Amino acid sequence: MAEKKFTVLDLLELELQGHDSLNLKCIAGRRGLTRPLIVPDVNRPGLALSGFYEAFAYQRVQVFGRGETAYLAKLKNEGNSENIKKLFTYQVPCCVFTHRLEPNKEFLAIAEEANCPVLQTDLESSDFSSRLLRVVSTVFAPHKTMHGVLVEVYGIGIFLSGHSGVGKSEAALELVERGHRLVADDIVEMRCVNGNTIIGQGANNQISHHMEIRGLGIINVTQMYGVGAIRNQKEIQLVVNLEEWDSQKVYDRIGTDQKTVELFGVKVPMLEIPVKPGRNLPIILEAAAKNERLKRMGYFSARDFNQNIIKWIETGEAQAVYYSGDDFY
């Protein structure tokens, strides 16, 4: 099944807030709102308007700032509309006028005839371009959905994986109760941004902050614990695989060998934590988050412990303790 195209209309309908808001509205060419955005980049069409169309990056969003708008006014005064008509012979996805600028009626008429959307924003050109690039880089980033729970613990994004019924949601609920934050439960959508950062969020914004607890049912974390108990998205910095305790399996007890899992070619630290009655998973996950933060600060407790043991052995103190034991013959 082919992936759904991202269109100009999709760009207008994005629910963006704060520093991501684009403040866009359509002022002409509504029939072309279904045009797809193919290249996640912008272009300033000054050279094209002057007649130079070689290497014209027509597949990008065309941004018209004060300079381009002033040049359009100059072309109108000169009665020269040929270069404008030629611009719209290309399949331009849309034109965006920044600074709340409005093109002349002739430009709008040509765009309308070509079914090319003309958008307007009150943002400055540089600000709009940086915001748009940030937004479309996320939209066009490689992505996939995975079964699991994503929580933020002490600032570390932890993705909990494991078989159904192993206790992922219950552990996440206890973490929320202890003051940490839920990002998504059950289905997590992951995106690789900038080639080295894995961002996770709920696959559906309407249900991502709900949790299914067996024996209790569906609960709304936002309503029960407040908006401080949730996040819309978070970088995945640690993957924890929960599995039922296997007495035949040898689990890592030192932690000197750091396991990783590849997500979109990015290696993310990974832990395997066995689950059985009596183990307090939330406390273990809190310790794992703190330990991961220490590693990112340059302190690796397991390797430090190992080096201290080696130094202790090299000093001869270990041999003295061993040979002085009461059970030595």
* Residues 94-147: tens digit of each pLDDT: 999 999 999 999 999 999 999 999 999 999 999 999 999 988 888 888 889 999
Catalytically annotated residue among 35, 168, 191, 231: 168
- Which parts of the chain sit beneath pLDDT 50? 1-2, 328-329
Q: 210-223, pLDDT tens digit by residue?
A: 888 888 889 999 99
Calculate the alpha carbon distances from 324 to 27, 111, 314, 316 in Å: 89, 93, 17, 12
Active site residue 168: yes
- Identify the residue whose tokens are 């439960």: 185
- Identify the residue whose tokens are 């069409």: 45
190 contacts 183 by C-beta, under 8 angstroms? no
H-helix segments, 120-253 = 125-139, 168-177, 221-225
Which of 123, 137, 97, 124 has its CA nearest to residue 21? Answer: 123
Active site residue 143: no
Whole-prediction pTM value? 0.72
For residue 104, the SS3 value is: coil
**CB-based contacts of 119, cutoff 8 Å, min separation 6:** 8, 12, 24, 25, 26, 27, 94, 95, 96, 97
182, β-bridge pairs:
151, 230
Catalytically annotated residue among 31, 66, 147, 178: 147
Strands 266-275 and 238-244 come out as parallel
The first and second tokens of residue 143, run together, are: 């992505």
Please, what is the Cα angle at 11 between 183 and 29, to 5 degrees? Answer: 165
pLDDT for res 18: 83
Catalytically annotated residue among 60, 186, 209, 234: 186
pLDDT for res 324: 63
Catalytically annotated residue among 19, 249, 253, 276: 253
pLDDT for res 3: 55
Active site residue 10: no
Active site residue 293: no
pLDDT for res 299: 77
